[in-house]
């Protein structure tokens, strides 16, 4: 089964957030577990490919102070392009200049040249050009000359093959290849990609019906799992229902992206879905009025006397969601707290600092260090609510902003980390927007250290209590979840002291 990773109809790009199920439905629970597994697998793939993001953010027109971690100057793509005949070469020049200025460590121009050359050759082969002739230039060590060599690669590709392939496609390939050569996290995001990323960090803020979607690779059935309180759930759609048609268009021949585009639409408009019920198999039309969808990043419950809070990512709404869940646990006199950061690939700097501050009353949360050694220290925000005793669940896909929070909690000894060693992403990316339709550069601009000065890049964080468990996302929060059982066991022992 595959799942949509774009977030357009309720699927988070990074996350395993799941709505509650009817308590007496075993089949629904099994299917619900499959959806959780799908979303976690997406997270794992994203973390491996560089999707585990710890973001600073900067816009072309003005800096967004709430998200900026560095001090780089805003980009003005329009002004730069106004002095050139076209955008293709200037986009490449701008990308080269930006990484030369802000990348977190010195750059070897030969790496950039090789990355561009290989990406151009690959793009041409993928578009029917056999044995494309893209030369291998040797870097000179002079910034201006090396910039001209990068331009020359693109110019030659366009002059030789521009009549057979898209000029825009060649430019995108050149820029992506150059940036991708630096590390798994530095890249060029086109307009759709940056919009999708920003949407996911806003909590999936869009007009839609509020469902997770998945597709069986064998039958091509499009299955849904509605989010509580959304138009889909209110219209009676149940976990495991199959969408046969969307406004008369059959779904069997569609990709999940196409399914998403058809379901999505203006708030207040109506979409008609032909649904086959998971229970009973009845087929009927369901009219759903699209609404404003905010996909939660937190799933929480008080169980066995413990407040369990699973956080799927660090988005703009995550702090409020975590705080609300912790306060709900305190109101129910929880005996302990479990913060589940397993399979959490990261998110926003501010969210990581704020959520850490719920447990840490004062002091440094994280320090970022740029290529010149300049240090930016972020401190606790005086919002601690005394959620203790605390266990933080981590695994090999706990990454980036999740490691910021886990590392700070461990350094201050305000909680116990339990699980397996974390991912080990100790670098910071900044997003440089190029304009509403121009995409963005995502560039690694700094590394970070924990409050005690630990650099976790490629090392990860060793938990205080190691409990090994296969990465089987469908096991999370079930009776087979050995790590969660061990967390509750530990909290019981603490409570008896």
Name every residue whose Cβ is closer than 8 Å to that of residue 482 and which is 6 or more positions away in sequence: 467, 469
CA distances from 342 to 50, 142, 398, 400, 483 (A): 17, 45, 5, 12, 10
φ, ψ of residue 66 to 5 degrees: the values are -70, -15
Q: Select from 55, 108, 113 the least CA-distant residue to 445.
A: 55
Angle formed by the axes of helices 167-180 and 109-126, nearest 10°: 140
Nearest-5° Cα angle at 18, 335 to 387 = 25
Tell me the C-alpha to C-alpha distance, in Å, between residue 210 and each of 229, 250, 260, 268.
Answer: 9, 20, 11, 14
- For residue 412, give every residue at least 6 positions away whose Cβ sits within 8 Å of its Cβ, in sequence order, or none: 359, 360, 363, 451
- Chain center to CA of 433: 17
Angle between helices 87-102 and 109-126 (to 10 degrees): 140
Active-site residue identified among 411, 433, 477, 481? 411
Q: Which residue has the tokens 């595959």?
A: 2
Query: Taking Cα atoms as reference points, which of 422, 430, 429 lies closest to residue 456?
Result: 422
Q: Is 384 a catalytic residue?
A: no
Within 202-348, where are the H helices?
A: 231-234, 256-263, 318-331
- How far apart are alpha carbons 315 and 325 in whole angstroms? 16
Handedness of CA 171, 172, 175, 176 (dihedral sign): negative
Tokens for 479, please give them: 């009776």
Buried b (16+ CB within 10 A) or exposed e, 213-227: bbbeeeeebbbbbbb
**Which one from 425, 430, 477, 488 is the annotated catalytic residue?**
425
- Spot the catalytic one: 181, 200, 357, 400: 400
CA separation for the pair 272, 252 (Å, rounded): 16
Distance separating alpha carbons of residues 346 and 135, to the nearest angstrom:
39
Strand partners, 419: 394, 466
Beta strands in 370-423 (DSSP E): 375-379, 390-394, 416-419
411 is an active site residue:
yes
Whether 488 is a known active-site residue: answer no
| Closest among 170, 163, 184, 164 to 121, alpha carbons compared | 170
Active-site amino acid positions = 400, 411, 425
């Amino acid at each position: 089964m595959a799942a949509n990773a774009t977030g357009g109809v309720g699927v988070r790009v990074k996350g395993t957030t799941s709505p509650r199920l009817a308590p007496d439905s075993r089949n629904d629970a099994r299917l619900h577990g499959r959806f959780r597994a799908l979303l976690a697998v997406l997270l794992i793939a994203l973390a491996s490919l560089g999707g585990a993001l710890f973001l600073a953010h900067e816009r072309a027109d003005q800096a967004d102070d709430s998200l900026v971690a560095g001090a780089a100057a805003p980009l003005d793509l329009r002004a730069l392009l106004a002095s050139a005949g076209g955008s293709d070469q200037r986009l490449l020049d701008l990308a080269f200049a930006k990484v030369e200025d802000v990348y977190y460590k010195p750059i070897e121009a030969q790496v950039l040249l090789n990355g561009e050359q290989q990406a151009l050759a690959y793009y041409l082969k993928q578009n029917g050009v056999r044995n494309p002739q893209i030369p291998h230039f040797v870097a000179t060590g002079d910034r201006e000359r090396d910039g001209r060599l990068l331009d020359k690669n693109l110019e030659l590709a366009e002059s030789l093959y521009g009549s057979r392939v898209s000029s825009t496609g060649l430019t995108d390939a050149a820029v992506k290849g150059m940036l991708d050569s630096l590390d798994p996290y530095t890249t060029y995001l086109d307009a759709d990609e940056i919009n999708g990323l920003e949407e996911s960090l806003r909590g999936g803020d869009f007009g839609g019906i509020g469902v997770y979607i998945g597709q069986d690779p064998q039958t091509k059935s499009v299955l849904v799992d509605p989010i509580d309180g959304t138009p889909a759930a209110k219209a009676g759609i149940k976990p495991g229902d199959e969408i046969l048609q969307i406004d008369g268009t059959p779904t069997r021949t569609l990709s999940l992206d196409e399914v998403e585009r058809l379901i999505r639409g203006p708030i207040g408009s109506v979409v008609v879905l032909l649904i086959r019920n998971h229970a009973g198999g009845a087929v009927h039309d369901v009219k759903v009025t699209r609404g404003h969808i905010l996909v939660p990043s937190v799933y929480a419950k008080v169980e066995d006397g413990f407040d369990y809070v699973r956080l799927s990512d660090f988005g703009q709404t995550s702090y409020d969601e975590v705080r609300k869940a912790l306060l709900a646990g305190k109101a129910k006199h929880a005996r302990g707290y479990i913060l589940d950061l397993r399979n959490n690939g990261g998110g926003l700097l501010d969210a990581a600092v704020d959520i850490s501050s719920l447990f840490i009353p004062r002091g440094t949360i994280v320090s970022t260090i740029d290529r010149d050694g300049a240090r930016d220290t972020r401190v606790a925000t005086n919002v601690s609510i005394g959620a203790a005793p605390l266990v933080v669940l981590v695994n090999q896909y706990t990454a980036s902003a999740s490691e910021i929070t886990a590392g700070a909690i461990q350094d201050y000894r305000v909680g116990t980390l339990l699980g397996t060693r974390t991912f080990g992403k100790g670098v910071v990316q900044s997003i440089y927007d190029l304009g509403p339709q121009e995409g963005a550069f995502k560039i690694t601009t700094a590394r970070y250290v924990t409050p005690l000065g630990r650099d976790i890049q490629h090392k990860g964080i060793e938990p205080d209590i190691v409990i090994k468990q296969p990465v089987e996302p469908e096991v999370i929060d079930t009776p087979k979840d050995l790590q969660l059982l061990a967390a509750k066991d530990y909290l019981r022992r603490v409570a008896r002291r």
